[in-house]
Amino acid sequence: MARALYIHWPFCASKCPYCDFNSHVRAQIDIEAWRDGLLADLRHEARQAAGSRRGKETLTSIFFGGGTPSLMPVNLVGDLLQAAEQLWGFDPGIEITLEANPTSFEAGKFAAFAKAGINRVSIGVQSFDPQALAFLGRTHSVETAWRVIGQAQELFGRVTFDLIYALPGQSSAAWEAQLSRALAFGTSHLSLYQLTIEPNTRFATDVRRDLFSPMDDDEAADLFAITRELTVAAGLPAYEISNHARPGEESRHNLAYWRYQDYCGIGPGAHGRRGGIATTRVRKPENWIAAIRRQSHGIDYTHTLSSREAAIEALLMGLRLAEGIDPGQLAARFRLPEAALLDHRRVALYRELGFVWTRDARLGVTPAGMPVLDSIIGELVPAGLAAG
């Protein structure tokens, strides 16, 4: 089973109105305190693995997320990578991803990040339309985004970037033109997300105040269909509901999540799954630092997952993937009867409706079912399993 490492850097230059991630704006950051804290959190996770079978596994992926980790000092990124390699060892084909914003300041650090060991960057472009960028609270320009993507392609073997669509008033023609422009860059991976209004964000407040209305579900479904059509034609089919890649260029780190493999998460608010134990770090940055000083790690709480809890998580994650799941393998893994995992009468019904497929002992959700994935999963999972 693969082992992945997630490192959370919680700071941003500004907070985007759609963002519900654990990100914070601070006037000053004590870099040495953060260096000590992240290294302590890293060492704690390595100690938990020591002596186990999993402790003998090398890291197959590392992901610096946030927040905006490209704002981190390059030498801090290098120190964390050096420590991770010493503690776990690196798989020869390890994927090391850094999230970045498309600003000239961050792009100016790309060469140094590559030298430190980053071999994949994920750029938060979000839109190639100036009005949409303003609506989304992004501070970069379209022209800067184009330039930064090109610079990244010159320095890193693998480049991906994000776009957000289904914005209020966005037409099919406008999204098709924008996506075509994105595909023309020739990156091997794209993350294409429909705008969702998350609780406790500024957009949620704006919707309550009737400052704007989210796009109608039917209109959003039309844009989803356009997205699937254009990306397939460009050779970047969807391998997950919102992620598209050339075959073999899928995000190895995110596949570890979606295939429900072990991963360690360090830094404020980071989650982890190791050996059937769920870990959650202290969320607020200042409280996380205090926890590090008090207990030499940032864990807020741990929870030993029951078979039912783990099975539910595996189903929720695996059915996001185009490859689907193998119910028999999951049943064996979690020591549950296969009939306890899925309501097979519902599976048959949704297969007839064209929302799910079954093939070679696998089950998956069709492109027609992906826009209503959450509802479908709720129907397929037996009530007893969900309640357990």
pLDDT at 385: 65
Residue 1 has pLDDT above 60, yes or no: no
Q: Which two tokens stand for residue 266?
A: 């360090």
CA-angle at 355, arms to 349 and 356, nearest 5°: 80
Average pLDDT for the chain: 94
Which range is least confidently modeled, 50-64, 185-199, 230-244, 361-375?
Answer: 50-64
pLDDT at 338: 84
Residue 51 has pLDDT above 60, yes or no: no
Rounded distance, CA 267 to CA 273, Å? 14
Question: Of 330, 188, 307, nearest to 246 (Cα)?
Answer: 188
Rounded distance, CA 13 to CA 15, Å? 7
CA-CA-CA-CA dihedral for 321, 326, 327, 331, to nearest 10: -110
Top-confidence residue, 174 or 383: 174
Report whether 293 contacts 34 (CB < 8 A): no
Confidence of residue 381 (pLDDT cuts 50, 70, 90): confident
**Cα dist. 9→87, 283, 293, 304, 307 in Å?**
20, 11, 18, 26, 32
- Unique residue bearing structure tokens 């075509």: 180
Rounded distance, CA 128 to CA 147, Å? 12
Domains detected in the chain = 3-257 (3.20.20.70), 327-387 (no CATH)
Rounded distance, CA 303 to CA 277, Å? 6
Predicted confidence (pLDDT) per residue in 242-270, tens digit = 999 999 999 999 999 999 999 999 999 99
Residue 388 has pLDDT above 90, yes or no: no
pTM check: above 0.85: yes
- The amino acid that residue 291 corresponds to is A
- Unique residue bearing structure tokens 């993937």: 321
State phi, psi for 30 to the nearest 5 degrees.
-80, 95
Sequence-distant (≥ 6) Cβ neighbours of residue 348 within 8 angstroms: none
Rounded distance, CA 6 to CA 210, Å? 38
